[in-house]
Amino acid sequence: MANYSKRKKEWQGEIDRTKRYDLVEAIDLVKKYSKAKFDEPVDAVFRLGVDPRKSDQMVRGSCTLPNGTGKVVRVLVFAKGDKEQEAKDAGADFVGGDDLAAKIKDGWLEFDRVVATPDMMGVVGKIGRILGPRGLMPNPKVGTVTPAVGDVVSMIKKGQVQFKTDKGANVHATTGLSSFTSEALAENIKAFYDSLVKLKPATAKGTYIKNISISSTMGPGVRVDPAVFK
């Protein structure tokens, strides 16, 4: 017989893993059992009705959460000339070119997101093997390769999240912190949902949003009824 922790025994008696809850009710349960000593991030996971093996059904994009993520995001920008100053004015933490690429080659990775102007991709490409596996490589599909670096940096600082379908057809993102109000988390999760709906592949057939689950870092997953978004 399995030995469950005290915390798990608490939520097992209240959370029905087979039930699909109303969004706010699910959030309240996640917040109730978020009892770690740190402010736990709250993640939302959407199971999509797509085949990720097919390139035309790969769902990938970004979403600016109305209430932010609650995290301090360090943004690095590859730019030069006027665009370098534009990035700095927008709040970028690090801006440069070959100098930053050299630091990254030497093992420096003290940043969370990377943005680049199109003319700097030659520099960025040299460190693609470092950035790519860490999910940091700028990509025009999610708006991080752009001449409008100031706008993108501002959106990231305000709470933009990136997402991409994994091998199991799941898409996930951090949608806030457990200290957020239930209403703020609900607004963020709805914004994430809306972004996914807009990106539905034309070739995807049947039910698009199959399952939704939310959880805090150390807490239980709670299923959400997709019908509450309609």
Give the separation between CA 215 and CA 160, rounded to whole angstroms.
Answer: 19
Backbone angles phi, psi at 164, to 5 degrees: -155, 140
Q: Look at the pTM and tell me if it is higher than 0.85.
A: no
- By the 10 Å C-beta count (0-12 exposed, 13-18 middle, 19+ buried), 126 is classed as middle
Of the chain, the end-to-end C-alpha distance in Å amounts to 42
Domains (range + CATH), the chain: 17-69+160-229 (3.30.190.20), 75-157 (3.40.50.790)
Q: What is the pLDDT along the chain (230 residues), one digit of tens a residue?
A: 455 556 666 666 678 888 999 999 999 999 998 888 899 999 999 999 999 999 899 999 889 999 999 988 999 999 999 999 999 999 999 999 999 999 999 999 999 999 999 999 999 999 999 999 998 999 998 889 999 999 999 999 998 998 999 999 999 999 999 999 999 999 999 999 999 999 999 999 899 999 999 999 988 899 999 999 87
Using CA atoms, how far residue 57 sits from 99, 132, 159, 201, in Å, is 38, 21, 26, 5
Give the separation between CA 187 and CA 44, rounded to whole angstroms.
Answer: 12
The residues near 153 (Cβ < 8 Å, ≥ 6 apart) are: 75, 77, 87, 90, 91, 92, 115
